[in-house]
Amino acid sequence: MRSHDRSHEDFLQACSVMPGGVNSPVRAAGNVGCEPVFYDRAAGAHVRDVDGNDYVDFIGSWGPMILGHRPPEVLEAVRAQLERGTSFGAPCEAETELAREVCRLVPGAERVRMVSSGTEATMTAVRLARGVTGRPGIVKFAGNYHGHSDALLAGAGSGVATLGIPSTPGVTRGCVQDTIVVPYNDLSATRRAFESHTGQVAAVIVEPVAANMGVVAPGDGFLEGLRELCDDAGALLIFDEVITGFRLAPGGAQEKFGVRADLCTLGKVIGGGFPAAAVAGPARYLDELAPTGPVYQAGTLSGNPVAMVAGLQMLRLLQDAGTYERLDVLGAALAGGMGEAIARTGAPVSFSHVGSIGTLFFSPTPPTNFSDVRRCDTDAFARWYRYVTDAGFLVAPSQYEALFVSLSHTEDEISALCSTTEEALRVIYG
């Protein structure tokens, strides 16, 4: 067993000043019977904890570290910016450069509003859709997570699902009365939602690949069907690409699946490891935001120069030839290795992946919606989590999250996670 004495001490100290010792609930790892590991440093695909244990990191800060930790070019850009200023609360050139890059890469993007978190991005996109259409209704999918703004905390995945919180105290009925929750991958239910709210739906917001109930791919025709339903009803289609943006393809899921969204929310990768996120879309919608339009949105640290130069460098590095092919190769290696581990052990588990994100589901067939995921054996998941973590692999402490592969991972590291998983499955089901 690895020693976690110092992490334990740090956790006790943290609990004395922060709720649950953490600033974001899924880090707490209580649902898998663990305490959080306190990180000390990271490089490439590896992190070291405060007790000196090394791990191969398959969390990657939940998405941003697509190149691995501390890419030298990003650090260089950040260092140079630190010498010039860390926050101006006024325009800087890096904002325009990054926005221009987003417009070049993301289908349909002519304008970008920078914000600091994915939560702000989706909240802004929803407000904008309501402002533009003059309608109140938002259709969202059970198990999709779009951050923690009130209107979107209904039927949410990620930490809300992990902690089994059915509805969050503090979110009033009024805040979610216009949020219509339907099952993921269910076009008929979505059509019925439109029919029972004729002329009332401002937008459908969707994770084009769900990654907050584990990774669940969109079924054939699902995204195309949403496009059609939105067009028929005059509603906006919002792709929440906070995870998939710049990861599945340079232009995210819109590019990968060839379906155009009206608004797209971006986060994680766009900040290069610093707090940045964005809403992108056509000028006719984005220009409705203040100051050009009446839909208000603002932020002291929005377009922060350090985050902007980090994100810009990150996006440039991702455009190196072969980047996305390599991510897909590594993702396929993970899926292939997990598939073999499952076949050899005969364990009642399945592996789902899209590109470089994937999830080991403790259910015999891959889930297609939130109800399926809810039937997974989370006790067995927790045993797998503890086994692989103790063997030196950092994976998300919840069945409702993804494994993230980065360009820093090697095939050997991926295959080591798969063989350790095979051992774990033998122990759990042996």
Contact mark string toward ligand PMP, 55..94, x via CB under 6 A: -------x--------------------------------
Taking the complex as a whole, the smallest distance from the CB of residue 398 to ligand PMP amounts, in Å, to 12
Q: Is 256 a catalytic residue?
A: no
Report which residue's Cβ sits closest to ligand PMP.
118
Least Å distance, CB 59 to ligand PMP, is: 11
Range in contact with ligand PMP (rule: CB under 6 A) among 102-110, 114-122, 320-328, 339-347: 114-122
DSSP 234-303: TPEEEEEETTTTTTSSTTHHHHHHT---SEEEE-GGGGTTSS-EEEEE-HHHHTTBTTTSSB----TTTT
Closest by Cα among 419, 410, 418, 402 to 60: 402
Of 55, 256, 262, 268, the active-site residue reads 268
Structural tokens at position 418: 């798969």
**Residue 337 or residue 397: which is nearer to ligand PMP going by CB?**
397
Quote the CA–CA distance of 228 and 134 in Å, as a whole number: 20
- The closest alpha carbon to 101, from 251, 290, 292, belongs to 251
Judged by CB, which is closer to ligand PMP: 113, or 146? 146
Report the alpha-carbon distance of residue 402 to residue 348 in Å, rounded.
19
By CB under 6 A, the residues from 362 to 391 that bind ligand PMP are none
Does 262 participate in catalysis according to the annotation?
no
Query: Does residue 207 belong to the site contacting ligand PMP (CB under 6 A)?
Result: yes
Is residue 145 involved in binding ligand PMP (CB under 6 A)? Answer: yes
Binding mask 224-243 for ligand PMP (x = CB under 6 A): ----------------x-xx
Query: How many of the chain's residues bind ligand PMP (CB under 6 A)?
Result: 16
Q: Is 122 in the site for ligand PMP (CB under 6 A)?
A: yes
Q: Of 10, 186, 240, 262, which is the active-site residue?
A: 240
Smallest gap from Cβ 147 to ligand PMP, in A, equals 3
- CA dist 330 to 70, 165, 308, 350, 408, Å? 20, 34, 28, 18, 10
Touching ligand PMP, residues 152-171 (CB under 6 A): 158
| Candidate residues 117, 254, 363, 406; the one interacting with ligand PMP per rule CB under 6 A | 117
Q: Identify which of 111, 83, 71, 103 has the alpha carbon closest to the alpha carbon of residue 313.
A: 71
Q: What Cα–Cα distance (Å) separates residue 123 from each residue in 49, 69, 140, 177?
A: 34, 29, 13, 16
Cα–Cα distance for residue pair 395/55, rounded to 1 Å: 10
Q: How far apart are CA 264 and CA 240, in angstroms?
A: 6
Q: 78 — phi, psi (to 5°)? A: -65, -45
Residues noted as catalytic: 145, 240, 268
Q: Would you tell me which residues interact with ligand PMP (CB under 6 A)?
A: 62, 117-119, 122, 145-147, 158, 207, 212, 240, 242-243, 267, 277
